[in-house]
Amino acid sequence: MRATDDLAIVERLAHRAVELAEALLREARAQQTADEHAQAKKLARMMADPHGKELTIALADQAFRSHRPERIADQLAYLLERYGVPQYMDWWERVALLLGGAMAHYLPSLVVPPIVARLRHETQNVILPGEEEDLRRYIEERRRAGVRLNLNQLGEAILGEKEAARRLEAYLTLLARDDVEYISVKVSSVYSQIDLVAFRATVAQVAERLRTLYRAAGRHRYRHQDGRITPKFINLDMEEYRDLDLTVTAFREVLDEPEFLPLSAGIVLQAYLPDSHRVQRALTEWALARRARGGAPIKLRIVKGANLAMERIEAAVHDWPQAPYETKIEVDANYKRMLQYGCRPEHADAVHLGIASHNLFDVAYGLVLREAHHVEPWVEFEMLEGMANHQARAVHARAGGLLLYAPVVRAEDFHSAIAYLVRRLDENTAPENFLRHVFDLEPGSPAFLVERDRFLAAFGIEARLSDAPRRFQDRRAEAGAPPVLRPLHAVFENEPDTDWTLAANRAWIDDVVRRWRERSHDRIPLQIGGELRTGPSQGDGHDPSRPGRVAYRYALGGPADVDRALTVARAAQPAWAALSIAERGARLEACAAELGLLRPDAA
Ligand SMILES: Cc1cc2nc3c(=O)[nH]c(=O)nc-3n(C[C@H](O)[C@H](O)[C@H](O)COP(=O)(O)OP(=O)(O)OC[C@H]3O[C@@H](n4cnc5c(N)ncnc54)[C@H](O)[C@@H]3O)c2cc1C
């Protein structure tokens, strides 16, 4: 087929998607309940009240994360004083918050628990209670409505192996329930010591936990409403960029083992990472080969990505480029490219697709692509519980099914749901996000036209969209290269940290470690005024990774060495004082460049 024909097809499908998005929106609005309407209205008021939004995030993040009523009371009072009572709340909520803030200080253990209970109640449509009876009732209700569920067990932060074991146990308990079909797991919640420098050791640990989970999934059975009986399904959620390679590697390696060939399991890719399309292609090639060996299909959920703020902070702190694309239009274009690739019948057969989005234009595009390629059995739609349930119902009706992602948390762990809540709040209110309009979007409205144009514009850049990673530091390439000296008067920039997310850097450090392991231990002399001296005594240096062994010996100076060092420094002082600021800068730059060259030996 010629490229112009391809373009004409894409254009036709895009315009059909716009019509379908409009229909979905109409259908959603027609069935919005009064409660959903009120919730959306409150969100719209929050958007017009930036202080209120800030306070809500700060309350969630700083006050309600704590277990201790005194701490919550203290923060509540402090934040109310700092931000004032949010205008977007109803009057009675404002009064309650004010009273609570004032009284909590005096009677924290009496006043705070009802406030936290109220917060839990308010967020119950987004985060479900994990208590046995409540959960059973909820699952049953959804099953009656024909909605399939993907449960995500939220819990405490995983700082140590005890917590990781507890979370693994919670996942296994969920898998063992008759009424649970599908769960989501984060690799960072089953292994606490993720360290990318020790990449292979980390993969081995994560793989061990995955085996435990996959064995349980294969052992337990779920009876679907149509009578089919299948193993349970486990999906690996994707978190930060640094987890991408680790998650994909562990996923592939374990599913390649003969024991797990018959098992179908899922993984997520985030379209805001340019790399994701390359990873999608590699995963598809691999899944096709696995299928040819008699293996089960895998499933890929395609999302845009929920950790943009965190990625930006990570990039700023380490002086790296931001891993996700810089603009929304690029993310939207990559999302479409990934849907198009995933919906090709020759791919969808081996890599089933979950199209996860709340953007009705992208959902509609997925529906249109699915129909055009006749891949309905392998492509499903996924949405988040409680975010825009009227829209979810409309998508459910059009798609003939829906997988709802439902986070679950027990009362005692509620504080750990805060990160999830903050991410959802951010999604609902970020300037270019579709959900921002959940209240006022109607066909033909200005907001609708903006979203429609945003959707169509992404097709225009798809052909020239890069899929190259935005982080590409390679310490190996720096070896032997001449030092890079910045021009005088250049603005100060930090030296970027080594990025262990990147395989090239991990290969580099592996080489360095190998070299150092083979080295007999050094004797490090004193160096005073350019002269190397042994000193009167010496100390032993230890390497914590090899306890009990001396890694190196270093010379210790005596009083004569201290005197000599001071004399040298004093003699050098007039020359240093005579240097201009720029000349001093140049010397320091030269030192930095020299240290950079020695990085393999100083890393
Ligand atoms: C069922 C389900 C499961 C999910 N699982 C995961 C998961 O495992 N991992 C994960 O990370 N996320 C996950 N998400 C969240 C998802 O990544 C999106 O954040 C969310 O769905 C919003 O995207 P959208 O397509 O619905 O809406 P849209 O409003 O079209 O897109 C919003 C998204 O665009 C991107 N964006 C917005 N502004 C910019 C900008 N200026 N520059 C660059 N990018 C920008 C961000 O990714 C933002 O979230 C899941 C979502 C759903 C529905």
Ligand 1 centre distance from Cα of residue 335 (Å): 10
From start to end of 425-536, where are the E strands?
A: 522-524, 526-528, 531-533
- Joined tokens for residue 142: 């959804």
Atom of ligand 1 nearest to the CA of 335: 25
How sure is the predictor about 413, in pLDDT bands with cuts at 50, 70 and 90?
Answer: confident
Regarding the domain delimited by 475-602, which CATH topology (the fold level of the hierarchy) does it fall under? Aldehyde Dehydrogenase; Chain A, domain 1 (3.40.605)
Residue 11 has pLDDT above 80, yes or no: yes
At a CB cut-off of 8 Å and minimum separation 6, what does 20 contact? Answer: 364, 367, 368, 398
pLDDT digits (tens, 9 = 90+) for 222-257: 999 889 999 999 999 999 999 999 999 999 999 999
Question: 14-48+123-463 with 475-602: one CATH topology?
Answer: no
Query: Looking at residue 5, what is its pLDDT?
Result: 67
Max CA separation in the chain (angstroms): 90
Query: Rounded to an integer, what distance in angstroms lies between the CA atom of residue 267 and that of residue 276?
Result: 12
- Joined tokens for residue 436: 């921002």
Residue 107 has pLDDT above 90, yes or no: no
Mean per-residue pLDDT of the chain: 89
Question: What residue segments make up the domains of the chain, in order of their start?
Answer: 14-48+123-463, 475-602
Query: Rounded to an integer, what distance in angstroms lies between the CA atom of residue 454 and that of residue 457?
Result: 5
Ligand 1 centre distance from Cα of residue 97 (Å): 32
Ligand 1 centre distance from Cα of residue 357 (Å): 7
pLDDT digits (tens, 9 = 90+) for 484-506: 666 666 777 788 999 999 999 99
CA atoms within 13 A of residue 284's CA, in its CB half-sphere = 22
* 14-48+123-463 under CATH 3.30.930.10, yes or no: no
Query: Looking at residue 95, what is its pLDDT?
Result: 66
pTM for this model (two decimals): 0.90
Mutate-to-test residue for ligand 1 from 312, 433, 452, highest number of ligand atoms within 8 A of CB: 433
Atom of ligand 1 nearest to the CA of 362: 25
Who lines ligand 1 at CB under 6 A?
Answer: 237-238, 268, 270, 272, 303-308, 324-325, 327-328, 331, 356-359, 362, 382-384, 405, 427, 430, 432-435
Atom of ligand 1 nearest to the CA of 382: 1
Q: Which helix (H) or strand (E) holds 161?
A: helix 161-176
Residue nearest atom 27 of ligand 1, based on CA coordinates = 359
User: Rounded to 5 degrees, what angle do the CA atoms 336, 338, 342 make?
Assistant: 120
Backbone angles phi, psi at 237, to 5 degrees: -70, 155
Ligand 1 centre distance from Cα of residue 262 (Å): 31
Q: Which helix (H) or strand (E) holds 235?
A: strand 233-236
Percent of the chain with pLDDT over 70: 92
